[in-house]
Structure 1
Amino acid sequence: MSGEVRGSAANGARAAMIGVCDFDGVLRGKHVMADDVLDGDKLIKFSEAVLAWDCADQVIPATVTQKPTSAFADADLRILSRTGRPVSPDRRQYLYLAEFVGAHESICPRGVLRKVLRRAADHGYGCTAGFEFEFVLFKETAETIDGKPFDQWTPLTHGPFGYSVARAVAHNELFDEIRVLCKNAGIPLSGLHFETGPGVIEAALRHCDALDAADRAVIFKSMIKSWAQTRGLMATFMAKVSENWPGQSGHIHISMSSGGENLFYDRETNRNVSKAMRQFVGGQLKYMKEFCVLAAPNVNSYKRLRPGYWAPTCPSWGLDNRSCAVRVIPGEPAAHRIEYRLSGADVNPYLALSCAIGSGLLGIEEDVGLTAPVAGDASALNCAAAERLPQDLSEATGRFVQSPEAVDLFGGEFVEAFSSSRRWEWEAVQHRVTDFERQRYFEII
């Protein structure tokens, strides 16, 4: 889309944004002159500090650079010229994605996904994916919520009313803006509707090549948050905004191809589930506990993974069963696919997709078997403690850092760097005294 930027420059928009994804899936970037992004995938210098910051811009002490906080140097950043697109309603603000290369490529989230996809390509497999995100809109701004108790925040709509036609019609102007914004940004949607819960909207991004799908997902999250602010709203992709509301998911639809054919489809088998598909799902389930931190990367993530809210509690799979961690969706070859339901809306799309594809790829390589599908409510299963998904971020991080398969698949440097960031995130929350604790203990204890 670099030609569009050249056109915008002629109309007076002489700068464009570049954005690179940090461990938390947040785009960090700056404005550059349009001429700097017109000549292919050029390299620029960019602070390596973004790979050592947490989501509050605090430096994680045990960073991969092992440098004092005042010694962060510049790293090589490659601007991806083909990713340029307008991301503002007036089409004047352009964004280009970038990725760390050289010494920092091994821990760059986009680089990790490329590593997994290269492994798939070595087997002759192509990967297609599409993300679905649930997010909550509040009639608030950063100023209005400052110091205001959460129970006084005003969501866009009140109470649950999933798939509401009435609400969609009432908010048609808002939905139109989202659809046009995504169309202009080259992020076509296959669905947009109200989900159950106050102010919850779900957007299904149309499937495409796996790396492009993750690029689109990263841009979509940032773009929606920015757009909401222009409307006097705030959008959040937290996995669980309130203990009284359903969580926000970030489901991923995945299919694999080989020789131009759907690798998961076999017309001679029951429900057309191929041997490769069974192996792939088997691998996803086998490594779900070890790799869980990539799909549930925050302390808040584990408050979504509870019974009764259509979120998985243990590795499980089913045929068109939305209560399972992995939902096999049978259909014609063009639609026959997997829905990976472990991930929440708070994920880093590059890392969540690396987890979902990488674990499935290991299943094919290891010829992993598959148990019978779950027919009922998977969250109602009486899972043994050893079979449950990690119960918190600390447990998930411990499993990940000790996994030799994680090191083999994602690289030792990334496993250590990302695990350090998650240990830091866990510790950042543990010493906080919450309002709930004060209400519960202050008088009585």
Structure 2
Amino acid sequence: MTDARGACAKSGRTAMIGVSDFDGILRGKHALDKDFLDEDKVIKFSEAVLAWDCSDQVIPAGFTQKPLSAFGDADLRVLSGSGRSVSHVGDLYLYLAEFGGRHADICPRGILRKVLKRVADHGYGCTVGFEFEFMLFKESADTIQDKPFGEWAPLTRGPFGYSIARSVAHQELFGEILALCEKARIPLSGLHFESGPGAIEASLRHCDALEAADRAIIFKSMIKAWAQTRGLMATFMAKISEKWPGQSGHIHISVSSDGQNAFYDSGAVRNVSKLMSQFIGGQLKYMNDFSVLAVPNFNSYKRLVPGCWAPVCPSWGVDNRSCAVRVIPGGPSAHRLEYRLPGADVNPYLALASAIGSGILGIETNAALPASTVGDAGAEIGLPSGRFPQSLSEATYRFAQSPAAIDVFGERFVEAFSCSRRWEWEAVQHRVTDFERRRYFEVI
């Protein structure tokens, strides 16, 4: 495949630079200076990106002592090796970047690198694959604003999961998605219709953990942009309707040592090694404390309800999709776990940092692994492990007060991210919905 840097330089075109904010939204601009194509280069970029919510309202995040209206520039390190084409028409290249300098310790990608360094210091590496569910609507940005939700037209009507008929009927769209991902060096291992109107699931091929998160964040942004070029709108909301299934962002993880899968032990029950037991034990032990990184929005909690193929409490099981952690047995090359807490609305860097950071704490503390769940894990919400925090406010409080979170992610990041989530909670919780008016107006 042609190297992205060479192709971009040869064409004489400018490229785009993108960096993740707290919400996992790629913010950026076209670059007029191509020096970064040859080596990582530090440029200046507005620090306001780390102080905006998803509607560009300023969050008093506490990372700057300046007045809220007086944002300056931050150092941004452009990652020269990350360049890839992100458009199915022509050659439009995107390069990822990280915040540096005094903003490095609150940069989402930097937080994941920090966690992965801790893993590497123990002599381990992580292989990761993301899965995302998203919905396509036959709408535009204008019609979405102008029409009530009940009039939005999904790409397909009603549930029909894994439908071959629908896949064939929409083979042109599927073909474009597959080609776009291949062109962007984001190969997929699966693409199919999910059980919901216009619902599609894409499985991104596994690779090194940091590269997997890079692919995931580009994939989400790229799919939304591609959909608009086709007169469609794509959403990765965790729950768009109480009548439809939620949209997940599951993460597959394995840990290696000396080139071997350290999760696999041929002599152990279900091949679950001691290291894997410790890793899952840590994930379960700290899942509630770290959950806000995997369930980051007000809407996210509407997905975590019993009977909807989403976990409701810290639990694990062997090939059990009702659990928060699903062990997937296999040979040495395939044995892994699936971290099922995140929805599709996550910031991939932070969700993965949560999943791996809690696991490495489990290894460091020799965390005990509770009994596995056989059957519906939703029936265990009354057990000592309890259920997940029930709101963004509760999850944020637990994260902000967690010594383990400060240990893994750093005090400054915990403070800044917690502030952003409290802001998000306040922005939504006081809104009065049409449902409330219909339910209470006359009878109360």
The TM-score with structure 2 as length reference comes to 0.98
Q: Which residue of structure 2 lines up, in the alignment, with residue 244 of structure 1?
A: 243
Relative to structure 1, the CA distance from residue 399 to residue 148 in structure 2 (aligned partners, 3 Å threshold; closer, same or farther) is: same
Q: Which residue of structure 2 lines up, in the alignment, with residue 149 of structure 1?
A: 148
Q: Which residue of structure 1 lines up, in the alignment, with residue 256 of structure 2?
A: 257
Corresponding residue pairs, total:
444
For residues 382 and 40 of structure 1, the distance between their equivalents in structure 2, rounded to whole angstroms, comes to 51
Query: 1:271 aligns to what SS in structure 2?
Result: helix
For the Cα contact (< 8 Å) 1:311–1:379, is it kept in 2?
A: no
Q: Which residue of structure 2 lines up, in the alignment, with residue 123 of structure 1?
A: 122
35-44 or 239-248: bigger deviation: 35-44
**How far 1:379 moved relative to its partner?**
1.7
Matches within 5 A, 1:8-407: 8-11=8-11, 14-33=13-32, 35-384=34-383, 387-407=386-406
**How far 1:384 moved relative to its partner?**
4.5
**How far 1:221 moved relative to its partner?**
0.2
Query: 2:141 aligns to what SS in structure 1?
Result: coil
Q: Which residue of structure 2 lines up, in the alignment, with residue 7 of structure 1?
A: 7
1:441 and 2:440 aligned: yes
- The CA deviation string for residues 224-268 of structure 1, in whole angstroms up to 9 with x for no partner, is 000000000000000001011010000000000011111101111
Structure 2 residue runs without a partner (length 5+): none
Query: 2:372 aligns to what SS in structure 1?
Result: coil
- The CA deviation string for residues 259-304 of structure 1, in whole angstroms up to 9 with x for no partner, is 1111101111111110000000000000000000000000000000
Letter in 2 for 1:273: V
Relative to structure 1, the CA distance from residue 91 to residue 335 in structure 2 (aligned partners, 3 Å threshold; closer, same or farther) is: farther
Query: 2:217 aligns to what SS in structure 1?
Result: helix
Relative to structure 1, the CA distance from residue 154 to residue 251 in structure 2 (aligned partners, 3 Å threshold; closer, same or farther) is: same
For the Cα contact (< 8 Å) 2:312–2:381, is it kept in 1?
A: no
The TM-score with structure 1 as length reference comes to 0.98
- The CA deviation string for residues 287-343 of structure 1, in whole angstroms up to 9 with x for no partner, is 000000000000000000000111000000000111100000110000000100000
For residues 387 and 2 of structure 1, the distance between their equivalents in structure 2, rounded to whole angstroms, comes to 51
Matches within 5 A, 1:425-440: 425-440=424-439
For the Cα contact (< 8 Å) 1:2–1:82, is it kept in 2?
A: no
Relative to structure 1, the CA distance from residue 382 to residue 417 in structure 2 (aligned partners, 3 Å threshold; closer, same or farther) is: closer
For the Cα contact (< 8 Å) 2:313–2:385, is it kept in 1?
A: no
Query: 1:371 aligns to what SS in structure 2?
Result: coil
For the Cα contact (< 8 Å) 1:314–1:383, is it kept in 2?
A: no
For residues 8 and 115 of structure 1, the distance between their equivalents in structure 2, rounded to whole angstroms, comes to 31
1:415 and 2:411 aligned: no
- The CA deviation string for residues 3-58 of structure 1, in whole angstroms up to 9 with x for no partner, is 4344345445x210000000000000000026233220000000000000000000
Letter in 1 for 2:229: T
Letter in 2 for 1:38: L
369-378 or 193-202: bigger deviation: 369-378
For the Cα contact (< 8 Å) 1:2–1:38, is it kept in 2?
A: no
For residues 359 and 78 of structure 2, the distance between their equivalents in structure 1, rounded to whole angstroms, comes to 30
364-373 or 249-258: bigger deviation: 364-373
For residues 102 and 11 of structure 2, the distance between their equivalents in structure 1, rounded to whole angstroms, comes to 38
For the Cα contact (< 8 Å) 1:5–1:34, is it kept in 2?
A: no
**How far 1:109 moved relative to its partner?**
0.2
Q: CA RMSD in A?
A: 1.3
